[in-house]
A and B are shown apart, each in its own frame.
Chain A
């Protein structure tokens, strides 16, 4: 049996944070939105990261399946990416006019991403999903945007909902919602709003939180593409989460269709801060016409890191590696659960696997299991899809399965009242 971690230094740092930072750690990397249940089972601050691991401020080591919520795609501190970034940093980063390395990065993306004829760079995923929606509206001179239920496209007001604090009704008044994989409902929605819809924005498959992730039904995306064409709607793929983990040519390419606009961020530069909107030639002039820029959007170091990242992902054929190891991991987790009488459901692509113990509908058992894993050095989350990275080894996977097995056993022993389901 392993000894559960203690978080004395994390707690002390968090107490300091609460005094000077709203909610201590805001957003998805904090205990509230991060669903740290119970909070006492989770580290709150990290001290360093390398390869497939990070170490918290108490010195506890974790195999990290969240990868900074996606950016860590090659491994923390990948030497090739760091070398490229260092070389560029020695020359310049933020200057009055951009470095030509921006052009090189755009050329690489145009060569790599199947639907890309151009690339526009910013910083966060939300910067480029917002740009995509503005582009769709400018191109069509229409107001409405179709969203797939369970979506996440950032935190700009247009991406939120009527009942979110600080978001005005007017900011979400043109949002339409439809279920994923439901073509009749989509057809109906488009017909009811004919001539009014500027764009349809969707992740390449439904990787919403708290629910099993759903892959597209056969023919779904091809039918959506045809519907968008017949209604004059811009098809926007938000590939911020899945981009470069399923297919280096874009997740639209992976699922056999072509987006008009495609958004990238997380895995684009292995943790260096850059996002990109890529799109078709027909929308290039529209994007040019928009007033849209930012102080750090042309910083050169992330472009160098991005070039090194995409180049290395190609050399490794990383998506195939993610699929292979992700499948080994999720298959092993399902077996470990079954050996302890639990039914573990894995969903989504193996490169971005989502987990759920199906033995209760409240997810409390699942939260208990995840908490036990975290306290023993495997960083999972209870509500969000996970991420594979290229630094993960088969040894990491085997160690993860040992910890997971032990954690299932602890939860099983704690609940003698439960009937084994597997």
Chain B
């Protein structure tokens, strides 16, 4: 057990798991669709984090996608370090934008409102969650962040890489009964998060509800306790599930409230 977290890993989680959930936000939340309706021309934001991830997000009138798109307008956001990037995502610092004035306006008109909206769903107030529909969406988005963080931790974190090194090839399904199904694909000890059901999982973790899934994946609930009391069940190649549970435990260090 490592007692410290690594800001570089946090940066990867912020890029691929937090900002990587913007496409799902755009798909699920009507307010996000309204914001995107203001996109006049497809625009790609390139994130350049010194010592960290380099990735792009493309915004159109209909959706948000990871990666760049040919013909899209381009805006670059530079970050002097992973710590700088993490502080920007936490809302305590500003990025260094690079682009034409019209494209920079895209940041304030589209990107910032979308990330603010995502923040309201990922760090909701009790008042916000009083609406059942918003509550469910909040849990789905939180679960997406946490499940995709599994791959980032498995590939970038020292403890996560140790666990991944002990994990054989195959898919581990992450299912919420009657609600959704993702999977983590392991190949040569490298993890990929896939937001669809696995056609042939080698191991399965089935959460009894979205609340349980969100709680475990964000480190607020113990997987072992939930397996014991039946809120989480496992089957298949348990040596694989066991190592994924260890990565899950480490994800909790990054995302948990403790």
Contact = CB atoms under 8 A, between A and B. Distances in A.
Query: Which label, helix, strand, loop or mixed, suits the secondary structure of the A interface?
Result: loop
B228 A37 contact: no
Contacts of B162: 161-163
A32 B228 contact: yes
Interface in B152-197: 158-160, 162-163, 166, 170
Contacts of A23: 222, 224-225, 227-228
A35 interface: yes
Contacts of A161: 162, 166
A169 interface: yes
A364 B236 contact: yes
Contacts of B202: 361-362
B202 to A, nearest CB: 5
Interface residues of A, number: 31
B230 A35 contact: no
A24 interface: yes
Contacts of A167: 1
Contacts of A165: 1, 249
A164 B239 contact: no
Nearest to A160: B1
A154 interface: no
Most buried by B among A37, A169, A362, A364: A362
Contacts of B239: 209-211
A226 B33 CA distance: 71
A94 interface: no
Contact of B235 (A31, A361, A367): A367
B178 to A, nearest CB: 17
Interface string A388-401: 00000000000000
B257 interface: no
Contacts of B201: 362
Contacts of B224: 23, 32
A363 B236 contact: yes
Interface in A145-159: none
A30 B228 contact: yes
B228 A24 contact: yes
A362 B246 CA distance: 19
B1 A164 contact: yes
Interface in A163-198: 163-169
Contacts of A367: 235-236
Contact of A38 (B2, B225, B233): B233
A83 interface: no
Interface in A353-390: 361-364, 367, 382-383
B215 interface: no
Interface string B240-251: 000100110110
Most buried by A among B3, B234, B243: B234
Interface in B105-142: none
Contact of A210 (B160, B163, B230, B237): B237
B219 to A, nearest CB: 11
A24 B229 contact: yes
A382 B203 CA distance: 14
A168 B236 contact: no
Nearest to B203: A362
A24 B250 CA distance: 24
A18 B202 CA distance: 30
Interface in B70-96: none
Contacts of A383: 238
Given A39-B233, A362-B203, A163 B227 contact: no
A362 B228 contact: no
B163 A163 contact: yes
A18 B249 CA distance: 21
B2 A37 contact: no
B256 to A, nearest CB: 12
Interface in B1-21: 1-3
B1 A168 contact: yes
Contacts of A35: 238
A211 B240 CA distance: 11
6 contacts: A18-B229, A23-B227, A161-B162, A210-B239, A362-B201, A362-B235
Closest 3 CB pairs of A and B: A210-B239, A23-B228, A362-B236
Interface of B: 1-3, 158-160, 162-163, 166, 170, 201-203, 222, 224-225, 227-230, 233-239, 243, 246-247, 249-250
